[in-house]
A and B are shown apart, each in its own frame.
Chain A
Amino acid sequence: MSSRSSKNKSGKGKRTGQGRSSLTAGKTPKSADASRLALLYSRYYEGKMQTIPKVPITSLNDFSIWYTPGVAAVSLAVARNQDLSFEYTNRWNNICILTDGSRVLGLGDIGPAGSLPVMEGKSLIYKFLGGVDAIPLPISAHEPSQMIDLAAFIQPAFGAIHLEDISSPKCFEILDSLREKLEIPVWHDDQQGTAGVTLAALLNSLILTNRKLDDARIVLFGAGAANIASARLMVAAGVPAGNLIVVDSKGILFPGREDMDHMMLSNKWKYELALTTNKERLSGNVDVAARGADALVAASTPGPNVLAPSTLRNMNKNAILFALSNPVPEIWPDAAKKAGVRIVATGRSDFPNQVNNSLLFPSIMRGVLDVRSRAIPDEAIVVAAQELAKYTRDEGTLSDEHILPTMMDLEIYPIVASAVGEKCVKMGLARKTLGRSQIEEIARRVIERSRKMVLSLQESHLIEPLPRDKRG
């Protein structure tokens, strides 16, 4: 793992290593091994997350402060001014990971109970990389209106809501509606997280191939949550919508397509893209779309033969391909390179250039929580993507095989958090007005404390060492 040298913008937030010394990249176990170990360890630890106090308890008398009668004064103060809940309680750092389990990564519709282990895992990443206290909350309600109501009902308890693994197109309705309704940030990782990291990868790929965001021709293959969100975010970042070409299972989207009215009623988000993208009014399949394209972002169905080499051969010189389907990309990277693609990214950690949501969601959430933002606007996600891309350039590690940082680059989290927080402050969304260096310092402190706590619990064996694998 590389170390970032003295590039701390604020000059205040000291480099601390943040547990870096005790964190190693380690070896990624093979898939079958990972499955076996996950079952073994999950049973051994009986879950991955728990709640623990953050105040001292020296005697039982302390409960007269932390609980009744003392707590009544705090309650009354918060009742009078509800924003004080961000000061007097842990609301400022509590989020919930809300899902109905209708589209769990790589597993599909496995329902709320089956999704709980995944949500616990997400919560663990939040705690370790972003210092965020994230409560897993799979629910057995599937109607968008029910999920919207539920999110609104639990708003008083949380600083933000993270939506996860909800099927498309209902995820769009839920996110859009909640973004409008709630007074706290709402994030849908499968849309905004993927879109943000994809944008960061695109920004650096365009730099490497001497292209500009406003005149690159970009094909989005697949029109599910990830690519619809990517298209929307690319436009927010300055890509002219007309330069995008979106291809779904029936072919290129264009305003005259036969199924436009069906789309208008069943997926208005895709319908919008059909109206606004593809200024050349191309029609046909992905081969037509890819001809002469500078970049192709595939988030369609697992490969490896979903994209043909012949499709990629017709792209522009120095072509960029993100084949993001998991667990197997639409085409293997070596096959794509043989077909003339210059830069390839996938969703996998065992190839270069992993487009991984974990590079963004912990820091974006950290940033909005630290300024007590009321929302996560697209502008903040664009800033986060720009900052993530810039980090690689500043490190001097930008290359065709390294267009993004990795999760091991722990420095990205406070840096991106501060950029996000600053944007929310500038846009008037923050309850707390802080400067960028202050936000970075807070983010750094919160993340560091969280990591130290985990490491300290490990050292004291309150988190027990991994059990011996008898078969191993």
Chain B
Amino acid sequence: MKRTEMRGMVETEIKKTSTEFEIREIKDDEVEKAAELVARLKKLNGEFDPLLKTEEKVEADSLRILKERIHDKDFVILVALSGSKVVGVVKAVLRDRIYYEPRKEGAIIEFYIMPEFRRGNLGRDLLVAIESMLRKKGAQLITAEFPSQNEIARRFYTKLGFRSLTNVFAKAS
């Protein structure tokens, strides 16, 4: 599905976008490449905090988990393609917020774009796309998780209207 079709389907307004990328739900044969990107994300997280240092088997784990999630209805996984090449991935999960309202949360838990394809509007487009998909699946609140020290992510989400909601503090035992 091309971007234009996606727009129609999710009935969302996408502002100016680059036409060079296709954004859509991941296909089975793209899982391996997407898992490589997820592994890169986990390693990037490790750059921000030693408590996020990745294990040796991060690639294998990324692939295993992604294969499990791809057909899970509570998960939304989108890829961005440049030609046939997977250059971006975003994964979100639907959560039920017991105690709070609104109850339905769409939480973006993994988001990675290959360095060469950053700085355009691809990040924003991927976010807009997954936000629409999540809302369509009932999410009333969109959240995003990233390491506290990741100022790039902080700036990105702030610029797009997000704000800090909860904090996770850590202390190694």
Interface residues of A (CB under 8 A from B): 255-256, 258, 260-262, 264-265, 271, 274-275
Contacts and interface: CB of A to CB of B under 8 A. Distances in A.
Nearest to B45: A261
B47 A260 contact: no
B142 interface: no
Nearest to A266: B47
Interface in B26-76: 40, 43-44, 47-48
Given A256-B116, A262-B43, A262-B47, 11 more contacts: A255-B115, A255-B116, A256-B114, A258-B40, A261-B40, A261-B43, A261-B47, A265-B48, A274-B115, A275-B115, A275-B116
Interface of B: 40, 43-44, 47-48, 114-116
Contact of B47 (A256, A265, A271): A265
Contacts of A261: 40, 43-44, 47, 115
B83 to A, nearest CB: 14
B33 to A, nearest CB: 12
A274 B118 CA distance: 13
B81 to A, nearest CB: 15
A245 B132 CA distance: 41
A242 to B, nearest CB: 13
A255 B40 contact: no
Contacts of B48: 265
The 5 closest A-B pairs by CB, nearest first: A255-B116, A261-B44, A260-B115, A265-B47, A255-B115
Task: Give the interface SS of chain A, mostly helix, strand, loop or mixed.
Answer: helix
Nearest to B48: A265
A254 to B, nearest CB: 9
A248 to B, nearest CB: 16
A62 B43 CA distance: 70
| Centre residue among B40, B48, B114, B115 by max chain A CB count within 10 A | B115
22 contacts: A255-B114, A255-B115, A255-B116, A256-B114, A256-B115, A256-B116, A258-B40, A260-B115, A261-B40, A261-B43, A261-B44, A261-B47, A261-B115, A262-B43, A262-B47, A264-B115, A265-B47, A265-B48, A271-B115, A274-B115, A275-B115, A275-B116
B78 to A, nearest CB: 21
Contacts of A262: 43, 47
| Centre residue among A258, A261, A264, A275 by max chain B CB count within 10 A | A261
A264 B115 CA distance: 9
A260 B115 CA distance: 7
B9 to A, nearest CB: 31
Contacts of A260: 115
A96 to B, nearest CB: 33
A262 B46 CA distance: 9
A279 to B, nearest CB: 12
A398 to B, nearest CB: 40
Contacts of B114: 255-256
Contacts of B47: 261-262, 265
B108 to A, nearest CB: 18
A10 to B, nearest CB: 46
A274 B48 CA distance: 21
A322 B29 CA distance: 47
Nearest to B41: A261
Contacts of B115: 255-256, 260-261, 264, 271, 274-275
A255 B40 CA distance: 13
Contacts of A264: 115
A109 B43 CA distance: 31
A262 B40 CA distance: 10
Contacts of A255: 114-116
A88 to B, nearest CB: 46
A265 B44 CA distance: 9
Nearest to A276: B116
Nearest to A274: B115
Contacts of B116: 255-256, 275
A264 B40 CA distance: 13
B48 to A, nearest CB: 8
B39 to A, nearest CB: 10
Nearest to B39: A258
B85 to A, nearest CB: 10
| Centre residue among B40, B43, B44, B116 by max chain A CB count within 10 A | B116
A274 B114 CA distance: 13
A90 B74 CA distance: 73
A31 B44 CA distance: 47
A256 B114 CA distance: 7
